[in-house]
């Protein structure tokens, strides 16, 4: 009797299990049928979301880039450089810091000493050189009485950089108006001092920003360096014209001795090796005290780095000071760099994913045409017309270049300036 009950119980459990399995299979089948119905719709929604996201980002970066082109850089395109040679006569002190620059001093210093200007002196700070710079300077002093040499020796325990050398040169300067360049630079003409000093004729001017292009050679690296320098100049010169000056280039820069000592010189950033030019301008420029000079005769030419290793060390040093700019200038430069990089990146992604390719191409061409119209006038002013022909390609490389070096400069530390 008990065996029969057990058999009945087992049969009952088996029947229940089969019923539940059938029910679960039915539910699973229904879920699969619903998923099969919903998946195409879900894929369609995700595809639409992806398209809208990419196109939205692309349009947003386009608007930001358009803002920089029209609201900022167009001011440089419409700016009219000094036409006639200024009648500048105020005394000027040219200051050069040189460390182991025997060859460059021999080649370039005479062009500065022989400037066609009535009243100027040239101060070379021989900054701890171990080559024959002192002998070169001694020989030149025999021929040029307006050459003054300040010799700086390195202390065994206390290492100093370019800012300390420039401070010594400024203290030794006999004149109020100071003009700065480097030993590896050569002026475009004998009127370099005249044009730069001419801007001080306006009583409010305390800072003059010049332009210093790199000498052209036949290499891809040289093209990138020259274009990056050109874009940097477009940015800082346009900012100055828009009463928002944030930097200058020490190869071609002028300011007054009064401003230097009133702001305590480089004291605020003496702990940073670089920044004798851009940080000083960033901290002391105002909407009314800064002028620009971009006449071709006022250019200061310099050779570019020939090897990537040299460029890496230079850019690591230069880019590292950007984090010390005023907050509004950091935001301005970051938005420009990030929006440009994302604009090109999303443009390529949209074409690769076939997301409204014709519309995307149309927006890209619109930006390129506007950029071409504005840049054609600027490039002509800055003597860089040849670089206009490959603008779209090199512009994309430029945004990658500054983003990479900007990140390196932010993270890395530099312990020597030369």
CATH code for the domain in which residue 292 is found: 3.90.550.10
Rounded Cα distance between 105 and 267, Å, is 29
Residues 346, 220, single domain; the answer is no
Residues 103, 63, single domain; the answer is no
Rounded Cα distance between 24 and 77, Å, is 74
- Is residue 1 domain-resident? no
Residues 73, 87, single domain; the answer is no
Residues 335, 301, single domain; the answer is no
- What tens digit of pLDDT does each residue of 210-265 get? 999 999 988 888 888 899 999 999 999 999 999 999 999 999 999 999 999 999 99
Alpha carbon distances (Å) from 25 to 69, 171, 175, 290? 64, 92, 96, 80
Residues 190, 163, single domain; the answer is yes
- What tens digit of pLDDT does each residue of 383-408 get? 998 888 888 888 998 998 888 777 76
What pLDDT is recorded for position 1? Answer: 46
**Average pLDDT estimate for 372-390:** 92
Total domains in the chain come to 2
What pLDDT is recorded for position 378? Answer: 96
Average pLDDT, the chain: 87
Residues 89, 66, single domain; the answer is no
Domain end: 291, 307, 323, which one?
Answer: 307
- Is residue 14 domain-resident? no
Nearest C-alpha neighbor of 121 from the set 162, 163, 152, 149: 149
Residues 303, 343, single domain; the answer is no
Domain end: 307, 342, 374, which one?
Answer: 307
Domain end: 307, 322, 352, which one?
Answer: 307
- Is residue 181 domain-resident? yes
- Is residue 320 domain-resident? no
Host domain of residue 224: 81-307
Residues 376, 298, single domain; the answer is no
Residues 73, 85, single domain; the answer is no
- What tens digit of pLDDT does each residue of 165-194 get? 999 999 999 999 999 999 999 999 999 999
Residues 300, 358, single domain; the answer is no
Residues 226, 258, single domain; the answer is yes
- Is residue 21 domain-resident? no
- Is residue 315 domain-resident? no
Can you say how many angstroms the Cα of residue 328 is from the centroid of all Cα atoms in its chain?
Answer: 15
What pLDDT is recorded for position 166? Answer: 95
Residues 300, 336, single domain; the answer is no
- Is residue 40 domain-resident? no
Which of residues 331 and 24 earns the better pLDDT score? 331
């Amino acid at each position: 009797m008990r065996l029969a009950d057990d058999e009945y119980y087992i049969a009952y459990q088996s029947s229940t299990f089969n019923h539940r399995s059938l029910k679960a299979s039915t539910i699973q089948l229904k879920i699969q049928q619903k998923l099969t119905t919903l998946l195409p719709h879900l894929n369609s929604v995700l595809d639409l979301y992806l398209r809208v996201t990419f196109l939205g980002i692309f349009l947003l970066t386009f608007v930001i880039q358009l803002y920089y082109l029209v609201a900022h850089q167009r001011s440089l395109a419409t700016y009219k450089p000094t036409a006639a040679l200024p009648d500048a006569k105020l005394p000027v002190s040219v200051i050069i810091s040189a460390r182991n620059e025997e060859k460059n001093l021999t080649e370039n210093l005479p062009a500065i000493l022989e400037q066609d200007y009535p009243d100027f002196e040239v101060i070379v700070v021989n900054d701890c050189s171990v080559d024959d710079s002192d002998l070169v300077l001694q020989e030149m002093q025999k021929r040029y009485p307006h050459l003054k040499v300040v010799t700086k020796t390195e202390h065994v325990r206390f290492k100093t950089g370019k800012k300390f050398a420039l401070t010594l040169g400024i203290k030794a300067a006999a004149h109020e108006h100071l003009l700065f360049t480097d030993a590896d630079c050569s002026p475009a003409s004998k009127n370099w001092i005249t044009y730069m000093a001419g801007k001080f004729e306006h009583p409010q001017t305390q800072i003059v920003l010049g332009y210093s292009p790199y000498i052209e050679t036949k290499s891809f690296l040289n093209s990138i360096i020259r274009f990056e320098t050109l874009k940097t100049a477009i940015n800082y010169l346009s900012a100055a014209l828009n009463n928002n000056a944030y930097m200058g280039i020490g190869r071609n820069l002028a300011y007054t001795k009064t401003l230097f000592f009133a702001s305590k010189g480089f004291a605020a950033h003496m702990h940073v090796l670089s920044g004798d030019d851009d940080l000083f301008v960033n901290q002391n420029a105002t909407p009314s005290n800064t002028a620009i000079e971009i006449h071709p005769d006022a250019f200061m030419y310099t050779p570019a780095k020939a090897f990537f290793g040299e460029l890496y060390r230079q850019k690591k040093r230069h880019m590292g000071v950007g984090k010390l700019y005023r907050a509004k200038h950091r935001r301005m430069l970051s938005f420009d760099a990030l929006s440009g990089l994302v604009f090109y990146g999303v443009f390529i992604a949209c074409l690769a994913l076939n997301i409204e390719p014709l519309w995307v191409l149309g927006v890209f061409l619109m930006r390129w045409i506007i950029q071409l119209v504005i840049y054609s006038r600027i490039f002509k002013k800055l003597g860089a017309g040849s670089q206009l022909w490959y603008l779209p390609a090199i512009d994309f490389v430029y945004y990658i270049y500054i983003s990479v070096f900007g990140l390196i400069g932010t993270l890395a530390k530099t312990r020597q300036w030369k």
